[in-house]
A and B are shown apart, each in its own frame.
Chain A
Amino acid sequence: MSLDLLTYMFIGGSFALYIGIAIWARAGSTTEFYVAGGGVPPVANGMATAADWMSAASFISLAGIVSFIGRDGAAYLMGWTGGYVLLAMLLAPYLRKFGKFTVPDFVGDRYYSKTARYIAVICTIVISFTYVAGQMRGVGIVFSRYLHVDINTGVIVGMVIVFFYAVLGGMKGITYTQVAQYCVLIMAFMVPAFFLSMQVTGHFLPQIGLGATLEDGRSVLVTLNELSSELGFDQYTQGNKTTIDMFFMTAALMCGTAGLPHVIVRFFTVPRVKDARISAGWALIFIAILYTTVPAVAGFGRVNLIETINGPDNAGVEYTQMPSWFKNWESSGLIAWADKNGDGKVQYQAGAAFDGGKPAFIDSRGDYGERLTENASSSANEVYVDRDIMVLANPEIANLPDWVIALVAAGAVAAALSTAAGLLLVISTSISHDLMKKSINPNITDKQELTYARLAAIVAIIIAGYFGINPPGFVAQVVALAFGLAASSVFPAIVLGIFSTRMNTQGAVSGMLVGLGSTMAYIIYFKFMGGTPDQWLFGISPEGFGTVGMLLNFVVAMLVASMTPEPPEEIQSIIEDIRIPRGAAQAHAH
């Protein structure tokens, strides 16, 4: 059976499953639409949270990043998992006891202020849109590479599928499709990893395989270090970023994770406070299965990539002898080769092969049939490899069977769709619940609110699809912004709201404004206005500045709160109430 047919079968089969679940789990009320009726078992919620959280970035890009930056990739690995410890201990149980639908609900009620609610709504919408555009793009890339359809067609198919289960089923439909999507994506990630680990090291478990020794008696990591220094790259197990930057980046990603609205809202769906803690535990187990495998996939992938491109004697392989994956990714524009020394062989080493980093293709072919570019650099490196192809190309580089490649394609689509659906739900809830019901027109009925939620979901899908088809050039940059915003505004506001009875409107609002303002200014200056790394404050990169914004938020909020009147009696009793687990089951009833 051909690879194309297999891929159609895997992706088509998984889509049929998702749609089936969506029809089975249609939502009838706002409670079902927003929080699945508050009745999701913790294991299922943990699985759904894991699928919600692991996006196209985790599935497709993370191993590529680690593969290319080595030890520094730990900022992402620890940052995107350590946030769950914060969630389990500092946020989830109390928010579940509070028992409303959204993050702005909590911020607005706890700080008895419309301004606070509006700030939370804006953060929620900006963070979620930032994220969702990238997901749609991920779906498009997979479709175009594996099914040979146009990227735009891929995005539209993805939109229709998400439309089906997000608009029909709301949180209830999304939760159960995410459980299915988790199963698809984790199989798709683990199966090739097992194969790779067996093939490279003889160990079945990739987590152990990465530390194993190869046939020549040297370990995988030592081999990688030697290959890297031979080719002029940094040592794989050595860091390149400064300690302070690693520290701040990891903290920003951790606190940002804990402050992401689409992750927090998942903990509103379980029956009891106890279940919120338990489902955070399950979520992290399900996430860790993938995250602890990533370093191994990254390491094996790197060895395979270098050895395939440069050949066993490290002298380069003739372009005409290159395996088909090399040429396929070249046609997708994610690999490029310029024969700088005119020997017809592909040679890969450190240095930017093309001026400005990415290759600029022109519309003609060279002597060996390669795509020609107009910006080959003076560096001796002849090859450009896009980081994002590592996971997708790994099975092909390692010559794994076709069904594994098809499975990986279905997994990448599952990862992108599950996250997109979760985000779209958060956006539509923010609009129908936080803006319509709570701010503009409090008199609408439950049924009308549900209609607004569905309409908002449709509009959000169309906007997300538009961004998927016409990706703004700044998607990669604004991911830093999403985590920065979450870490510097949402996270401190919620933590202070739970752990300080003294925190009042004035404190929270000024804290959020200072945190948001400083973080946005820093990121915009360095990402869009041409700031250079030598101007970084204390050497902290824009990705890590969310931590500084968060600290400023805490300090300003506490200072202002200490100079202004304490919150009213009834707010203080709300805080005392959310600290005690008993009574959460009834909370959704009102």
Chain B
Amino acid sequence: MSSQPDSARAYWRENLRIIFTYMVIWFAVSYGCGILFVDALDQIQFFGFPLGFWFAQQGAIYVFIGLIWAYVFSMNRLDEKYDVHE
């Protein structure tokens, strides 16, 4: 990939790092809190819900929304930084 300028490669690497960070959160919230550790979290009460149940049926969805918008803002900044925005 010698044809690719260094800045494009740096842009892509930073994008991958951002994606990776958000995917870790995505996984932890849905598969972690909602499935793998759901029974342990259910011991904790949260606004009348067992916490694990709340994550599985509501909380994870709120976090998903937050993640997409965080990605939108991170990428808008990154696009400006590397001057690849439209």
A interface list, Cβ under 8 A from B: 66, 71, 73-74, 77-78, 81-82, 84-85, 88-90, 93, 207-208, 210-213, 219-221, 237, 239, 243, 246-247, 250-251, 254, 272-274, 277-278, 280-281, 284-285, 288, 291-292, 295, 501, 572-573, 576, 579-585
Contacts and interface: CB of A to CB of B under 8 A. Distances in A.
Contacts of A237: 42, 50, 53
A73 B71 contact: no
A238 B11 CA distance: 45
Interface of B: 1, 3-4, 8, 11-12, 15, 19, 22-23, 26, 30-31, 34-36, 38, 42, 46-50, 53-54, 56-58, 60-62, 64-65, 67-69, 71-72, 75-76, 79, 84-86
Contact of B85 (A71, A572, A582): A582
B80 to A, nearest CB: 11
A285 B72 contact: no
Given A237-B42, A582-B84, A85 B35 contact: no
Contacts of B48: 210-213, 219-221
B47 A77 contact: no
B47 A211 contact: yes
B63 to A, nearest CB: 9
A576 B9 CA distance: 9
Give 5 nearest A-B pairs by CB, closest first: A211-B48, A74-B56, A295-B57, A281-B68, A211-B47
Contact of B60 (A78, A272, A583): A78
Which of the listed residues B8, B22, B57 has the most CB atoms from chain A within 10 Å of its own CB?
Answer: B57
A281 B68 CA distance: 5
A579 B75 CA distance: 12
Given A74-B60, A82-B30, A85-B68, 6 more contacts: A247-B36, A277-B75, A292-B61, A581-B79, A581-B85, A582-B86
Contacts of B54: 211
Interface SS majority for chain B: helix
A88 B68 contact: yes
21 contacts: A71-B56, A71-B57, A77-B60, A78-B34, A81-B64, A82-B26, A85-B68, A88-B72, A237-B42, A243-B35, A250-B30, A250-B35, A274-B85, A278-B72, A284-B68, A288-B61, A288-B62, A288-B65, A291-B61, A501-B1, A584-B86
B64 A85 contact: yes
Given A90-B19, A210-B49, A212-B48, A581 B65 contact: no
Chain A CB within 10 Å, residue with most, of B11, B26, B42, B61: B61
A576 B68 CA distance: 23
Nearest to A247: B35
Contacts of B57: 66, 71, 73-74, 77, 295
Contacts of B56: 71, 74, 77-78
B50 to A, nearest CB: 5
Given A74-B56, A274-B86, A585-B86, A85 B67 contact: yes
Given A78-B30, A243-B36, A284-B68, A211 B62 contact: no
A227 B60 CA distance: 27
A274 B62 contact: no
Contact of A281 (B23, B31, B60, B69): B69
A78 B30 CA distance: 7
Contact of B8 (A90, A572, A576): A576
B35 A246 contact: yes
